Amino acid sequence: MKKLVLIFKVVFLVLLGVLSVKMMYGDPVQKPIESLLAQRIDYAECPTDKYARPFFQVKGDETKFHVIKEFAYRTGCSGKKESTIIGKSVSFSYFKDSPTSGKVIEVSINGSQIYSQNEFVGKSTSAGALLFMVVVAFSIWSFFGVKRHNNPL
User: Tell me: the pLDDT tens digits for 88-101?
Assistant: 999 999 988 888 99
The domain total for the chain is: 2
Domain containing residue 110: CATH number: 2.40.50.50
- pLDDT at 148 (0 to 100): 63
Helical H segments across 26-95, by residue range? 70-75
Domain identity same for 97 and 43: yes
Domain identity same for 21 and 46: no
Strands 101-109 and 64-66, how do they pair? parallel
- pLDDT at 56 (0 to 100): 93
- pLDDT at 146 (0 to 100): 61
Average pLDDT, the chain: 84
- Looking at the domain assignment, is residue 53 inside a domain? yes
Q: Which residues of the chain have pLDDT under 70?
A: 145-153
- Looking at the domain assignment, is residue 89 inside a domain? yes
Domain identity same for 49 and 102: yes
Range of the domain at 133: 2-27+127-144
- pLDDT at 92 (0 to 100): 93
Write the CA distances from 112 to 14, 89, 94, 100, integer angstroms. Answer: 43, 10, 17, 27
- Looking at the domain assignment, is residue 122 inside a domain? no
Percent of the chain with pLDDT over 90: 21
- Looking at the domain assignment, is residue 153 inside a domain? no
Torsion of CA 17, 18, 20, 21, to 10 degrees: 110
Domain identity same for 74 and 136: no
Q: pTM (2 decimals)? A: 0.67
